[in-house]
Structure 1
Amino acid sequence: MKLRTRWIIILIVAVWAVISVLPYGKNMKLGLDLQGGMHVVLGVDTDKAVEGRLEGFTVKIRKELAAESVNFGYVQMDNKGRINIALNNTDDADKVKKIISDRYDTLEAVASSGNNILSYRFNNAAVKQIKEYAVEQSLEVVRNRIDQFGVTEPVIQRQGQNQVVVQLPGITDPERAISLIGRTAQLKFHIVNETVNPEDAVSGNIPFDSILLYQKVTDKNTGKVLSSVPFVVKREAVLTGDYLVDASVSFTQNNLPAVQFTLDSAGSKLFEEVTGQNVNRRMAIVLDDNVYSAPVIKSKIAGGSAIIDGIGTLEEAKEIAIVLRAGSLPAPVSIEENRTVGPSLGQDSINSGLKAALAGIAAVIIFMGVYYRKSGLIANAALLFNFLLIFAVMSQFQATLTLPGIAGMILTLAMSVDANVLIYERIREELRIGRTSLNAVEYGYEKALSTILDSNITTIIAAVVLFQFGTGPIKGFAVTLSIGILASLFTALFFTRTVFATVLGGNETKSVSI
C-alpha cells in the first residue's frame, strides 16, 4: 500500500475518532459504579406462571362445558397442576375428551382417581413455552414501568433461565423503585362470600370454593397501616386486569386518592354481565391479594370504567396507576440481589480510575521515551491514538463505561506497549546482524507480526468468553478490553509502521533512533 494512501486512512480514522468523542462523552454512558444508581436482579417464579395459566384454562373449560350442556359436577384445579373434571354422567366422557382435544392442544390426559373423573395437565412443551414467555413478558413489563418511572438510560436484560437484571443509573429513591419494579400488579375482581363469617374464616373455617384476603386500613395522612380487615371471597375471580387498557390517578368525593381504570370492549361487556348477575352483592377489587375496596353492586355497570379507592396516599395511587398501565407481571418476582451505589462514591471511583490511568500512561510514556529514544516517541503517539480510538468506538456504539472497563483500558495500555516492544526488539536484532535501518524495520514488523497476532487473538477469545458468561462489571471489562486490543493492533501494526516509513523516506542509509 502506498504511503500516501496509508496516511489518508489514518487521517480519516483520526477525524472520525475526534468527531465521535466531542463533546466529551456525549454518547458514552457511565455504569452504576461511576455515576451511582441501583443494580437489581429479579427472580421470576415461573412455576406460578404455569399455575396461573392453568387456572385460566380451568375457568374457560368450565364455561365451555356448561355451554355444551355437559352434565358435570365440578371443574377444578388441584395442587398437583391438574384440571379435574367430575362428570355426573359418564356418557359425556367422549364428548368432553373431544372438546379438550379440539380446543386445548397443550393439555394432555393423565390418570384420574375415579371412573367419572377426567384429569388433564400441560404437556412438557407447553410448560417450557409458558415459563419462557413469563420471563420475556416480565422483561417487557418491567421495561414499561421503568419508562413511566422516568429513569434515563436504564439497562434491563435477561440473565440465565429465570432472572431479569435491572440497572437504574442516577436513581434517587431506591425503595420506591423496588416497590414499583417488584409489584406483581395482578388486578382481580372477586364476589364476596357473605355466607361465611370472616372471623370464622380467620380461625381456619374456610369453604373449599373461597379464600381469605385482607383489606389494609391506612392512615389518610401518613399512609401507615393501622389494621387489616378480613374478607372471604370466592376463589375464582369473575374478572381480571387482562382487559385493562388505561389507568389514571383520580379522587373520591371525599377528596381521597383513587385510581380510575378503563376496560377494553370485551372487558366492558364482561364487567356489565358480572355486575348485572350480582346486584346487591359485594364485589372485592383485589390488587396483589390485597382488597382495596368491596363496594355493593347497586345496578348493572356499563361503560367498562370504575375506580379503586381505599388507597392510603397519593404516591401509592400514582404507583398503582403506573403498574396497571404497564401491565401485570405474569408471575410473582423476588428481589434476589439489590446493590445501590451513591453518586459520591461513583465520583470517587471516576477520580481514582482517572488517576490510575494517567499515572500508568505517564510511567509508560517516560519509559518508552528513555529506553527507545525517538522510536519510543512514535510508540507513545500510537498509545495516545489507541486511547482516542477506544473512546471513539465506545461513544459511537453508546457503550457503558464501568470501573472494570477503566481497568480494561489500562490493561489495553500494557497490550499496546507490549506489541511495540516486540517490534522494536526485533528491529534491534536485525540492526545487530548488519541490516540497514529500512530493512531492519521491515523485517522487524514481519517477524513480530505472528507473535503479536497470537497474543492478541488469545486475549480476545478470553474477552469474548467473559462477555458471554459474565454479568454487569465483567461485561464492561470484556467490552473495553476487546475494543482496546483491536485499536492496539491498528496503531501498533499500521500507524507506527507508516510513521517509520515516513521518517526513513525509503532511504537505505538513514539511521533509526532505537
Structure 2
Amino acid sequence: MKKTKRKAVINLIIFFLLLAGGIYMAIAGVGQNESGKTANVPLGLDLQGGLSVTYEIQDEKPTSDEIKATVDKLQRRVDAYSSEGEVYQEGNDRITVEIPLNTEKVDAHDVLDELGQPGQLLFLDSENYTIWQQNQNNGTNDAYEAVLTGSDIKNAQAGVDDSGTVKDYVVQLQFTDEGAQKFATATAANIGKPIYIIYDGAVASAPTVQSAITDGNAVINKISSYDEAESLASTIKIGALPLELKQIQYNIVGAKLGQKAVSTSLIAGAIGFGLVCILMIVLYRFPGFIASLALTGYVVLMLLILSIRHITLTLPGIAGIILSIGMAVDANVIIFTRIREEISAGSGVRAAVKAGFSKALSAILDGNITTLIATVVLMILGSGSIKGFAVTLMLGIVLSMFTALFVTKMLLNSFLELGVQNPKMYGKAKEPKIHGYVKNFKICGVASLIVIIAGLAFLGVNHSRIGKSLNYSLEFTGGTSTTATFAEDDVYTLERAESEVAPVIAETAGIDAGTIQIQTVEGNNQVIFKTSELTEEQSAKIDDLLKSQFKATEVDNQSISSTISGEMKKDAIVAIAVSSVLMLLYIAFRFSDVKFGVSAVLALVHDVLVVFAAYSIGTLSVGNTFIACMLTIVGYSINATIIIFDRIRENMRTQDSKESLEELVNKSIGQTFTRTIYTSLTTFIMVFVLFVMGVTSLKEFTFTLMLGIVCGAYSSVCITGPLWYTMKKKFSKKNA
C-alpha cells in the first residue's frame, strides 16, 4: 500500500513539474533559440499581414527541373522583401508566393507589381534590338537573336561604387557558365555599343559595353539612385525564370487586422477554456477538476508542438484549436458518464473508474477516428488557410485522446491511491428517462424535411432576388474583394457606402456601379466591396482613393480568378462525398453491420442539408470556410452518433428476452442523452465565445458551426437511432 501511495505521489509531482515546466517553456522558451516559446509560433499571412500570390505556369508540360529552378529563383526574389517569405509548388502547374509584410510601411501593391507576371527577359545587341523594336511598333514577327535570355542569369544585385569622385549606383550581374560564354562573345563584338535589357516587352536598361567581359560577371553602372538600381536588379532576377507565369490569385492582408485577429481569438480561447473548466467541475465534481488539469496540459502540449515543430498558425487554425478544446472534453465526458453509471450500479469508486475507462475506450477511438477521416480529407482537398484549420484540428484530436486516456487516467488513479474515494465526489448517474424516440421519429423527420425543403426553395428565391442561388463568396465566383477599415468616429452604413463610395470606385476602376456588391461589418466599421476581377493597377488606384478621399485607415485586397473558384466548388462537393463514403465503410466495418454505417451517413446528409438550408435562407457567404464548416459538422456529428451506436451494440449483447428492440434503442439513447447534451454544450461554449469576440472572417464560420453542433446533437438523439431501428425492422421482415 505504501508503495502504491508513493508511486501516486511521484506521478503527481512529475505531472505538476512537467505542467509548470511546459507553461514556463511556452511563455519564455528554453535555450538560446527560446525553443517552445509561444511567441515564436510562425503566423500565417492572415495573422501578421502580408501578400500571397498564386501563379499558373503557362508552358506546356514543364519539367520538374524547370519548376524547381523557377521556385528557387522566385525564392531569391522574395528574400529581398522578407527572410520569412515562402515560395512553393501547388499541384502540377501552380506556384504560390507568400511574403509577410508590414503594410503600414510597405505598399503591398508595389511589391505585387514588382513581382508582376514574370515574363520574358532578353539581352539584345543594337542590330537585333532594331528588329525587335520594329516588331513591337508594326506588329510584325521578324526573327531576331537574343544575346542572353533570363535562363542565362544566375543572380543580380544592387550595389554602390565609391571608387570614383562621385558615388555611382550599379547592378552587379552574375551569369551561368553557359551565359558567361555567350556574354563574353557578345561584349567582345559590341564594344562601345549598348546592350538592351528588355523585360516583359519594355526596355529596362541599355548599358554601353566598355570592354569584353569574360569572367561571368558584369556591372551596369551610371544608375541615378540606389532605388532604381535595386528595382533593375529585382527585374533581372524575376525575369531570370525558365517558365512563363500568369497571376491567377492574390491576397493582401493589413498588419492591424492580423494583430487584432490574434489578440481577440486568444482572449476568446482563454475565456472559453475557463468557462468549460468551470462547467466540467460543476457537472462532474472531482473528476471535472481532474479533467480541467488534463485539459490545461493538453493546451500547453498543443502550444509547445506548434512552436517546436514550427507549424504555421492561421486564423482558421486558431478556430481549429478552440474547437478541438471543446471536442477534447468529449472523451472525458464519455469516461465520467461511465464511471457514474458504475457507481450507481453498486460498484466501488476504484472499480467504477477502472470499468469506466475500459467501457469508454471503443467509443472514444471510433468517434475520434471518424472525425480524423474528415480532417484528413480536408488536408488533402483543402487549400491555404483551410489546411491550417485541418492541421490544428487533427493535432487536437490526437492530443485529446492522449490526455483523456492516459493523463486523466493517471491523475484519477493517483488521487484514488491517496484516498480520494468518496462516491459523493464523483456523483451517481440518475436513472435515465426513457422517451419514445423511435415513436417520435416520423414527427422529427417531417420537421427536418420542412427545414430542408425550405432551404431548397430559397435557392429559387435567391436566384430571382440576387441573381444566384447561393451567396457565393469570392472563392467560389472569382473577382476582387476590397475591405476598407474606417476610423471609429466615421461610421459608414450600407446606404452611405452605396451612395458615396461605390460610384467613385466604379468610376476609378471603369466598371458599372451596379455590379459592385457591398457588405458592412458591424462593430469593426469595415466595408467590403466585391467587384469583378480587377487588374493590379485598378486595385492600387482604389486603395489610394479609399485612403486619400475617404480616409480609410487600412485597406485589404483579395483577387481570385474564375479558374480557382471553379476548382474550389468541385473540391467542396468531392470532399464531403469522399469523407462520407470513408466514414460509412469504417462504421460498417467496426460495427459489423452496414445498417449502422448507412443510417449514420444518412444522418450526416441530414445535418449537411439543414446547415445548407441556413446558408440558403440566411444568404450567408458560401466560400472556402464553407468546406471546413461542413466537414467539421460531419466529423463532429458522427462522434455523437457513434456513442449511441456503441451503447446499442453493448445493450444488444445483454438484451433481455422480454425487451423489444424498440425499447432497447430508446434506452440506449436515454443512457447517452446527458453525454450528448454536455459535450455539445461545452463545444458550443468554445465556439460561441469565438463568435462573439472573433474577427469578421470567423463570425459566419462560427455561426454555422454553432448551428451544426445543435443540429448534430438533435440528429444523434432523434434521427440516427430510430433510423437504424427502422432499417433493422424492414430488413428483418424481408429476410424472414
Aligned-partner residue type, residue 40 of structure 1: V
SS at match of 2:40: coil
Structure 1 residue aligned with 2:147, among 231, 238, 246?
238
Indicate the residue corresponding to 2:708 in structure 1: none
Aligned-partner residue type, residue 43 of structure 1: E
SS at match of 1:413: helix
Indicate the residue corresponding to 2:22 in structure 1: 17
Aligned-partner residue type, residue 35 of structure 1: Q
Aligned-partner residue type, residue 48 of structure 2: Q
Structure 1 residue aligned with 2:253, among 327, 341, 350?
341
Indicate the residue corresponding to 1:451 in structure 2: 363
Do 2:151 and 2:242's aligned partners in 1 also have CA atoms closer than 8 Å?
A: no
Higher helix share: 2
Do 1:17 and 1:393's aligned partners in 2 also have CA atoms closer than 8 Å?
A: no
Query: CA offset at residue 179 of structure 1?
Result: 3.3
Distance 1:490 1:512, change over 3 A: farther
Partners of 1:207 and 1:347 in 2: CA distance? 52
Partners of 2:128 and 2:78 in 1: CA distance? 40
After superposition, residues 19-168 of structure 1 pair within 5 angstroms as 20-23=25-28, 24-47=37-60, 128=61, 130-149=62-81, 151-168=82-99
Most deviating of 313-322 and 187-196: 187-196
SS at match of 1:40: strand
Structure 1 residue aligned with 2:389, among 477, 495, 508?
477
Query: CA offset at residue 474 of structure 1?
Result: 0.8
Do 2:291 and 2:408's aligned partners in 1 also have CA atoms closer than 8 Å?
A: yes
After superposition, residues 271-286 of structure 1 pair within 5 angstroms as 271-277=183-189, 283-286=195-198
SS at match of 2:118: coil
Q: Deviations over 1:382-409 (max 9, x none)?
A: 2222111111111110112222112111
Most deviating of 396-405 and 350-359: 350-359
SS at match of 1:321: helix
Partners of 1:361 and 1:308 in 2: CA distance? 61
Partners of 2:307 and 2:66 in 1: CA distance? 34
Q: Deviations over 1:106-151 (max 9, x none)?
A: xxxxxxxxxxxxxxxxxxxxxx4x34333322221111112233x1
Indicate the residue corresponding to 2:471 in structure 1: none
Most deviating of 165-174 and 336-345: 165-174
Partners of 1:306 and 1:508 in 2: CA distance? 80
TM-score, length of structure 1 as denominator length? 0.69
Corresponding position: 1:181 with 2:186: no
TM-score, length of structure 2 as denominator length? 0.50
Distance 1:300 1:19, change over 3 A: same
Q: Deviations over 1:354-407 (max 9, x none)?
A: 232123223212221212122211111122221111111111101122221121
Do 1:285 and 1:308's aligned partners in 2 also have CA atoms closer than 8 Å?
A: no
Q: Deviations over 1:384-442 (max 9, x none)?
A: 22111111111110112222112111211221111111111111111111111111111
Most deviating of 264-273 and 400-409: 264-273
Indicate the residue corresponding to 2:441 in structure 1: none
Do 2:53 and 2:98's aligned partners in 1 also have CA atoms closer than 8 Å?
A: yes
Q: Deviations over 1:249-294 (max 9, x none)?
A: 3679997755342445654443343344567876433233322455
Indicate the residue corresponding to 1:247 in structure 2: 156
Partners of 1:282 and 1:508 in 2: CA distance? 90
Partners of 2:417 and 2:154 in 1: CA distance? 73
Most deviating of 158-167 and 308-317: 308-317
Do 1:37 and 1:168's aligned partners in 2 also have CA atoms closer than 8 Å?
A: yes
Do 1:248 and 1:259's aligned partners in 2 also have CA atoms closer than 8 Å?
A: yes
Aligned-partner residue type, residue 33 of structure 1: D
Indicate the residue corresponding to 2:338 in structure 1: 426
Partners of 1:205 and 1:422 in 2: CA distance? 75
Query: CA offset at residue 310 of structure 1?
Result: 8.7
Indicate the residue corresponding to 1:81 in structure 2: none
Do 1:408 and 1:477's aligned partners in 2 also have CA atoms closer than 8 Å?
A: yes
Distance 1:310 1:11, change over 3 A: same
Structure 2 residue aligned with 1:190, among 124, 131, 148?
124
Distance 1:204 1:181, change over 3 A: closer
Structure 1 gaps of 5+ residues are 48-127, 210-234
Partners of 2:376 and 2:339 in 1: CA distance? 32
SS at match of 1:331: coil
SS at match of 1:400: coil
Give the length in aligned residue pairs. Answer: 407
Distance 1:190 1:362, change over 3 A: same
* Overall identity of the aligned pairs, in %: 34
SS at match of 1:398: coil
Partners of 1:508 and 1:288 in 2: CA distance? 77
SS at match of 1:401: coil
Indicate the residue corresponding to 1:231 in structure 2: none
Partners of 2:130 and 2:101 in 1: CA distance? 51
Corresponding position: 1:513 with 2:425: yes
Higher strand share: 1
Partners of 2:378 and 2:324 in 1: CA distance? 16
Query: CA offset at residue 44 of structure 1?
Result: 2.2
Distance 1:239 1:362, change over 3 A: closer
Aligned-partner residue type, residue 153 of structure 1: E
Aligned-partner residue type, residue 30 of structure 1: L
Distance 1:412 1:427, change over 3 A: same
Query: CA offset at residue 504 of structure 1?
Result: 1.9
Query: CA offset at residue 189 of structure 1?
Result: 2.4
Indicate the residue corresponding to 2:138 in structure 1: 204
Corresponding position: 1:397 with 2:397: no
Do 2:207 and 2:221's aligned partners in 1 also have CA atoms closer than 8 Å?
A: no
Do 1:139 and 1:157's aligned partners in 2 also have CA atoms closer than 8 Å?
A: yes
Do 2:50 and 2:253's aligned partners in 1 also have CA atoms closer than 8 Å?
A: yes
Most deviating of 329-338 and 285-294: 285-294
SS at match of 2:92: coil
Structure 2 gaps of 5+ residues are 29-36, 427-736
Query: CA offset at residue 472 of structure 1?
Result: 2.0
